[in-house]
Amino acid sequence: MSNRQPGTPQHLTPKVKGGSAASEQQDMLRDKTAVSAAGPSQSFEPSSSSTPSAGESCFQAHNVVGGYGVQNIIHGIDLSLIQGEWLTLVGANGSGKSTFLRFLSRILKPSAGTVLLDHQDIHRLNPTTVARKLALLPQQQTLPAGLTVEQLVSLGRSPHQPWWQWELDASGWEKVDQALLWTELESYRHRPVSDLSGGERQRAFLALALAQEPQVLLLDEPTTFLDIHYQLQLLELLRRLNQERSLSIITVLHDINLATRYSDRLAMMRQGKLWAIGPTTEVLTPANLKAVFDVDAVILDTPVGLQICPLAPPDTSGAAP
């Protein structure tokens, strides 16, 4: 197409970029392949690159209260996300973690409290302005029949397009290419999204969110429908984005072990409130797990860091006559 500019350097792949940054990135890549090939043991590095005190808070929830109808599900949550950190919301079913994420992503409007992005209330800002900084990967996606990967990802540019612009400009296509490169979907570019496997499909929707160029990415249980291989693949990709592009990430994850392994901080939710929040190593205690999930668990030190081993729900032994 005529509006493409060959040879624009700033978005090239790690493979062709020279200099120290590239070799760092290559290490990351190698690290990533090592995970799937030689097992996870080498990949774990405590990702403490963004210590809470070092960064600046870019995304905050202040006393958020609300629910779907009249009844409140979330009863006042305060939360602050530091630029470049990965925070995971965990909690039992019905604890309100997905609902809370819907408040953070502007899908629902809280009945009280505010959500601030760069110190501005996202529910009052122009939606397009918010969408340029905040992207969402919903849990379940609607798949328009026949839409190709490239068409899907290019829709991620729409918050950056003026309403009269019919077709993406050169820099817009560049961002689309970049997103496809990151998610390793270039060869799928012209395939219909509906033909892809679950893992590839999830990557395609992640590429759409990346094309939005967000500061903050919200993901609602991104690994739910994936097998263990694709779960790790997706989370490793997110870790690369988190570390190399200092993308701030908030995920909702069911799997507490995956949450522990990848996030900087955990926010444990219980009955619509925040039970505990802090660095994973600090909040991952048997007492917290019992309070939040109502299970007895032991914490194990494994090659990938701390992991939990649930023993039994505490009631079963005591309830027997």
Q: Are strands 265-270 and 216-220 parallel, antiparallel or unpaired?
A: unpaired
- Of 135 and 267, CB closest to other proteins: 135
- Of 62 and 189, CB closest to other proteins: 189
The yes or no reply on residue 169 touching other proteins (CB under 8 A) is: no
CB distance 211 to 157 below 8 Å: yes
CB distance 161 to 172 below 8 Å: yes
CB distance 269 to 97 below 8 Å: yes
The yes or no reply on residue 123 touching other proteins (CB under 8 A) is: no
212/53 Cα distance (integer angstroms): 28
Q: Least distance to other proteins from the beta carbon of 173, Å?
A: 8
Answer for which of 37, 53, 163, 321 binds other proteins (CB under 8 A) is 163
The yes or no reply on residue 70 touching other proteins (CB under 8 A) is: no
- Of 110 and 305, CB closest to other proteins: 110
Answer for which of 155, 196, 295, 299 binds other proteins (CB under 8 A) is 155
The yes or no reply on residue 57 touching other proteins (CB under 8 A) is: no
- Of 201 and 270, CB closest to other proteins: 201
> Chain centroid to CA 101: how far?
11
Q: Least distance to other proteins from the beta carbon of 279, Å?
A: 28
The b/e string for 161-183 (b: 16+ C-beta within 10 A; e otherwise) is beeeeeebeeebbbbbbbbbbbb
- Of 218 and 297, CB closest to other proteins: 218
The yes or no reply on residue 196 touching other proteins (CB under 8 A) is: no
- Of 140 and 316, CB closest to other proteins: 140
131/133 Cα distance (integer angstroms): 5
Q: Least distance to other proteins from the beta carbon of 258, Å?
A: 22
The yes or no reply on residue 145 touching other proteins (CB under 8 A) is: yes
Q: Which of the stretches 156-164, 249-257, 260-268, 288-296 binds other proteins when contact is defined by CB under 8 A? A: 156-164
201/188 Cα distance (integer angstroms): 10
Answer for which of 25, 88, 105, 223 binds other proteins (CB under 8 A) is 105
Long-range contacts of 222-228 (CB under 8 A, 24+ apart): 222/137, 222/139, 222/251, 222/253, 223/253, 223/255, 223/258, 224/139, 224/254, 225/198, 226/198, 226/199, 226/202, 227/198, 227/199
- Where does this chain bind other proteins (CB under 8 A)? 1, 4, 6-9, 12-13, 16, 102, 105-107, 126-132, 134-136, 138, 140-142, 144-147, 150-152, 155-156, 158-159, 161, 163-164, 166, 177, 181, 186-187, 189-190, 192, 205, 208-209, 212, 218
